[in-house]
Amino acid sequence: MRKLRAAILLLCLCAPQLRAGTGTTALPFLKLDQGARPAAMGGAYCAAGDDAWSVFYNPAGAALAQKQEIALAHNEWLQGMRNESAVYEGPYGPDATIFAGLNALFSGAMDKLDVTGAGIGSFSSQEGALSLGAAAALGGGYYGGAALKGLYQRTTVGSAYAWAGDAGLLRVEGDWRFGLSAANFGTKMKLGSTGFSLPLMLRAGVAWNYLERLTITADGVKAGESAAAPAVGAEGEIPTGPDGAFYLRAGYTGGRSRFTGSGVTAGLGLRNGDLRVDYAFAPYGELGDAHRITIAVRFGGERQKAQKRHYYAPRRKAVKNAPAPGSSGPAKAKTAPARKKAGAAKNGDDKSVYFMW
């Protein structure tokens, strides 16, 4: 019965940002936090994201990737429901990144009741989203990203499909980052004879990094039909060796109802070279607690750096002068005056041609 109650409240509880109340949007699982690191930081990841999980919050963050990365996540959500996700991102050239993400929710077996409340069997539901996208540096500290995704839902009524898109913009300025993103804008999903809009997610965030050891971030999130709500988070890094670190994280998300917990989240992380393992804990009040575990692996070479332009000035050949009147031989050849630096002639009268590539 508790599992059934959790399923009924899915529309208003599946995202920490949501307020209590029913909704009319499809696929509410799209509002769930993805990845243990973002979830532990209260979902405030629009500007802070710089790893594979950033593609679910702001696809522009993928442009900061320096190596290929694969991340897998398992989320023991409410009353036996499972949320599984996977993501890949890889640098493509000096400025671009390509990525793919998979996100799925499995309800497990739930009791099926008739109008009198008597049990008449069981049922289950499945929801999923597959996205493909790219991100790139736009110049001047700006980064942009976009993704196209296909959506799927299966219930006792039948199956349905839809298409949607995500887009984001990121600005990096010293120790500060600023982000904007919009997700799930697309076609309606039709179940039976009724069409349902997708939950449009709007985010705006800012993040500040102190000495590469402490990150503080804050987001404003508008999830579907719910009112905008704040989310804040922090991450501290403690080095454990030349290529390892231990992480402590905490966060808070507003907009919770009094039945769904305080909105406080917490988590831990451990990195050893290119391997990182993260854990996040999020209490949901009367419905229980959510536990997330993430494994991420980076591999391959570092991102190819953009080649710098080089300027060259060819040497000037020696010029022979005609013999002076009355002289017995040709005058000594005169060469171009020596230059201290390529491209800078003595007395500033050099007229050499410069080549650039």
Render each residue's pLDDT in the chain as its tens digit; 357 residues: 444 444 434 434 443 333 333 456 778 888 889 999 999 999 999 999 999 999 999 999 999 999 999 999 998 876 678 889 999 999 998 899 999 999 999 876 666 665 566 666 665 678 899 999 999 999 999 999 999 999 998 877 678 889 999 999 999 999 999 999 999 999 888 776 777 889 899 999 999 999 889 999 999 999 888 888 999 999 999 999 889 999 999 999 987 766 677 789 999 999 999 999 999 998 887 777 889 999 999 999 998 776 544 434 444 445 555 555 555 555 444 444 444 444 444 444 444 443 333
Tell me the C-alpha to C-alpha distance, in Å, between residue 251 and each of 105, 188, 282, 305: 24, 33, 10, 35
One domain, residues 278 and 324: no
Residue with tokens 């984001």: 168
Q: What is the pLDDT of residue 13?
A: 40
Indicate whether 143 belongs to any domain: yes
* 305, part of any domain: no
Sign, Cα dihedral of 219, 222, 224, 226:
positive
Same domain, 83 and 124: yes
Question: Rounded to 5 degrees, what are φ and ψ at 183?
Answer: -135, 150
Residue 284 lies in a domain: yes
Euclidean distance between CA atoms 135 and 95, whole angstroms: 8
From the list 59, 67, 70, 182, the residue with the least C-alpha distance to 132 is 59
| Domain C-terminal end among 255, 276, 299 | 299
| CA gap 305, 138 in Å, rounded | 15
Say which CATH number the domain at 97 has: 2.40.160.60
pLDDT at 306: 60
Q: Which amino acid appears at position 321 of this protein?
A: N
263 and 353 part of one domain: no
Does residue 350 come out as left (phi exceeding 0), alpha (psi in the -120 to 50 range) or beta? beta
Listed residues 268, 299, 330: the one ending a domain? 299
Can you state the percent helix, strand and coil of the chain, rounding each to 5? 10, 50, 40
Chosen domain end from 249, 266, 299: 299
pLDDT at 286: 74
**Residue 307 belongs to some domain of the structure:** no
Note whether residue 237 is domain-resident.
Answer: yes
171 and 27 in a common domain: yes
DSSP state of 66: -
CA 134 to chain centre: 11
* Per-residue model confidence (pLDDT) at position 326: 52
**Maximum Cα–Cα distance for the chain, whole Å?**
128
Mark whether 323 and 260 lie in a shared domain.
no
Note whether 223 and 247 are same-domain residues.
Answer: yes
In this structure, the answer to whether residues 216 and 348 fall within a common structural domain is no
The answer to whether 65 and 91 have CB atoms below 8 angstroms apart is: yes
Q: What is the Cα Rg of the chain in Å?
A: 29
217, 248, 213, 212: which is closest to 231 by C-alpha?
A: 217
Q: Do 269 and 318 sit in the same domain of this protein?
A: no
Query: Tell me, what's the pLDDT at 346?
Result: 40
**How far apart (Å, rounded) are the C-alpha atoms in residues 187 and 334?**
77
Residue 273, SS3 per DSSP = coil
* Residue appearing with tokens 């790219």: 134
Q: Give φ, ψ of 314 to 5 degrees.
A: -65, 150
Residue 25 belongs to what domain range? 2-299
Are 282 and 181 contained in the same domain? Answer: yes
| 304 found inside a domain | no
Count of structural domains, the chain = 2
Answer yes or no: do 203 and 331 share one domain.
Answer: no
Asked if 194 contacts 158 with a C-beta cutoff of 8 angstroms, the reply is: no
Are 294 and 166 contained in the same domain? Answer: yes
Same-domain status, 214 and 329: no
Evaluated on CA atoms 51, 52, 56, 62, the torsion sign reads positive
Q: Does 306 map to a domain?
A: no
